[in-house]
């Protein structure tokens, strides 16, 4: 298994952000984490990456306990999040160099040149990161996330702020990366088209808990719906399977 999350909890003074979440993600799988605002998706991803310390529970990535030995595996994973700003005065190239060195990437200049070609960043390489549009920044963040060719990739809304055409292109890029690298990907998204297109499994979260889990087809059948958007609305509005189970117990 590439990622094992076991009874993960994150309590803040203001309340419970993640209230006991468990799942396992096999190598090469692409899983979507779906849920409304405040459901706990970002906090879950941050705990898997080791950016946020859990209150309790365990996370292992590629067989390594992230709470004790995360330095052993960090070079084999990466993440993208709109919440993590890059140094804005540095150019795109300098940013990619800093992150590439942090991850110990060999032949870094060649890697940056390849990524710039693939993500259409050639024209932007010598511009300061602070002078980019939101969509351009998202593409640079994706380059940062791929700089070390990670086996495990965590993405927090990878196409937020992209126009539909660029978003579609980024999804195609991620799909190709997944197939070429055999990477395991966990992505939080509000975009159902994205999830239906990329994910072989969907984990639905609400108020810090997992309320459903299955392939997109399983969920459509279970809820009797034509698309994931309708399933999402059922779950968000409390008409989900979890609500029915609770009512029945």
Ligand X SMILES: Nc1ncnc2c1ncn2[C@@H]1O[C@H](COP(=O)(O)OP(=O)(O)OP(=O)(O)O)[C@@H](O)[C@H]1O
Binding site for ligand X (CB under 6 A): 12, 14, 17, 35, 37-43
Work out how close the CB of 208 gets to ligand X at its nearest, in angstroms, rounded to a whole number: 7
Nearest residue (CB) to ligand X, 38 versus 128: 38
Minimum Å gap between C-beta 149 and ligand X is 27
Phi (first) and psi of residue 39, to 5 degrees: -70, -20
Smallest separation (angstroms) from ligand X to the CB of 51: 11
In the complex, least distance from residue 37 CB atom to ligand X, rounded to whole angstroms: 3
40 vs 216, beta carbon nearer ligand X: 40
Cα 32 to Cα 171: distance, rounded to the nearest angstrom = 13
DSSP 70-114: GGGTGGGEEEE-TTSPPPSSSBHHHHHHHHHHHTT-SSHHHHHHH
Nearest C-alpha neighbor of 204 from the set 212, 194, 196, 216: 212
Rounded to a whole number of angstroms, the CA Rg of the chain reads: 18
Residue whose CB is less far from ligand X, 35 or 216: 35
Cβ nearer to ligand X, comparing 38 with 57: 38
Say how many residues make up the chain.
249
Question: Tokens 């803040």 belong to which residue?
Answer: 12
Residue 212 CB, shortest distance to ligand X, in Å, is 15
Structure tokens at 241: 């399977």
Helix (H, G, I), strand (E, B) or coil at 35: coil
Considering the complex, what minimum distance in angstroms separates the CB of residue 56 from ligand X?
16
Residue whose CB is less far from ligand X, 40 or 50: 40
Cβ-count burial 215-232 (b if 16+ within 10 Å, e if not): ebeebbeebeeeebeebb
Q: Which is nearer to ligand X, 91 or 207 (CB)?
A: 207
């Amino acid at each position: 298994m590439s990622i094992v999350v076991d009874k993960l909890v994150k309590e803040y003074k203001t309340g419970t952000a993640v209230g006991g979440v468990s799942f396992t993600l096999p190598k090469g799988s692409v899983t979507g984490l779906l849920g409304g605002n405040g459901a706990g998706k970002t906090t879950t991803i941050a705990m898997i990456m080791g950016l946020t310390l859990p209150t309790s529970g365990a996370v292992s990535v590629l067989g390594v306990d992230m709470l004790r030995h995360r330095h052993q595996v960090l070079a084999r994973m990466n993440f993208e999040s709109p919440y993590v700003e890059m140094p804005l005065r540095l150019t795109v190239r300098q940013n990619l160099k800093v992150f590439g060195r942090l991850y110990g990437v060999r032949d870094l200049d060649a890697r940056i040149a390849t990524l710039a070609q693939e993500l259409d960043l050639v024209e932007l390489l010598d511009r300061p990161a602070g002078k980019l549009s939101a969509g351009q920044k998202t593409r640079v963040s994706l380059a940062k996330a791929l700089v070390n060719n990670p086996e495990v990739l965590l993405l927090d809304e990878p196409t937020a702020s992209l126009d539909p055409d660029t978003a579609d292109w980024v999804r195609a890029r991620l799909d190709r990366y997944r197939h070429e690298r055999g990477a395991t990907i966990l992505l939080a998204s509000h975009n159902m088209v994205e999830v239906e297109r990329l994910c072989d499994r969907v984990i639905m979260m609400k108020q810090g808990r997992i309320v459903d889990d299955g392939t997109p087809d399983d969920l459509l059948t279970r809820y009797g719906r034509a698309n994931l958007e309708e399933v999402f609305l059922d779950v968000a509005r409390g008409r989900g399977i979890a609500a029915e189970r609770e009512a029945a117990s």
